[in-house]
Amino acid sequence: MNLYFVRHGQSANNAAWDASGNSNNRVEDPELTEIGQHQARSVAQFLARSGNSAPASGRDHHNRFGFGITHVYTSLMVRAVATGYVIAEELGLPLIAWEDWHEAGGIYLHDPLSGEKIGLPGKPRSYFERCFPRLVLPAHLDEQGWWNRPFEDEAARHQRAQRAYAELLARHGGRNDNVVIVSHGEFFNVFMAELLGCNAIGDWWFTLNNASISRLRFENENEVQIVYLNRVDFLSDALIT
């Protein structure tokens, strides 16, 4: 099984941080910027491409002959869903929501007085059905929103990464599936920490640009190949953020 981890396109929060260097204008669940929408289209078209013939060895580590994507999943954060929706449409595949791949922390804002991170509801089912009608939603999602929890702490993030990994293997392990998951930069680092057997993110960090692709190949649960990380060669210079 190949996992193609796609970071979402540029969000309003990403753009605000790039402009100011702080999170003063942060919103809890930002949408894509215009640049982010272009990035989503570019990565979708790149993932949909195919070559003329397969390599004689059967190996194509840089996907010169295409991707053959079989499944597309997304976190339930708006910036990821909007990116994944374009990818799934381009590929002609269902877009399936997978809650466990959301960004570290969950849906939250800082309390203006205390500075405490306060958990918020997240989008309700009606929002997704209205804005992304082809998104396959979990049965339990209702009008109360999908988050409705306190801010997610470090321990909970690692537990979630372990759970996401186990479920990924349960769904696709031992199969010739090529799986796209549209997710988030910090959670990618938490997920990689679990794969690498690290207890926490310390002095290292895997940098991911918006709409980048990272490929991991799972031969089995004990053998993971890091094929490439943060691939953005399909983006124009103006779209690299």
Chunked in runs of 10, what are the mean pLDDT values of the chain (241 residues)?
Answer: 98 92 87 98 94 65 94 98 98 98 97 92 98 97 96 96 96 95 97 86 88 93 90 97 98
Picking from 88, 3, 46, 29, the residue whose alpha carbon sits closest to that of residue 236 is: 46
Give the domain range for residue 109. Answer: 6-239
Q: Label residues 94-107 b or e (16+ Cβ within 10 Å = b).
A: ebbbbbbbbbbbbb
- CATH code (residue 102): 3.40.50.1240
Q: What is the Cα–Cα distance from 68 to 176, expressed in whole angstroms?
A: 10
Find all residues with CB under 8 Å of 63, minimum gap 6, and list them.
Answer: 215
Structural domain contains residue 95? yes
pLDDT at 198 (0 to 100): 82
pLDDT at 24 (0 to 100): 79
Structural domain contains residue 230? yes
Structural domain contains residue 1? no
pLDDT at 5 (0 to 100): 98
Structural domain contains residue 135? yes
Structural domain contains residue 192? yes
Domain count for the chain: 1
Q: What is the Cα–Cα distance from 5 to 182, expressed in whole angstroms?
A: 6
**pTM of this prediction?**
0.95
Picking from 146, 9, 185, the residue whose alpha carbon sits closest to that of residue 82 is: 9
pLDDT at 192 (0 to 100): 96
Distances in whole angstroms, Cα of residue 190 to Cα of each of 71, 81, 88, 146, 193: 22, 20, 25, 21, 5
pLDDT at 52 (0 to 100): 58
Structural domain contains residue 23? yes
What tokens appear for 67 in the block?
A: 């991707």
pLDDT at 216 (0 to 100): 97
Structural domain contains residue 143? yes
pLDDT at 54 (0 to 100): 59
Structural domain contains residue 196? yes
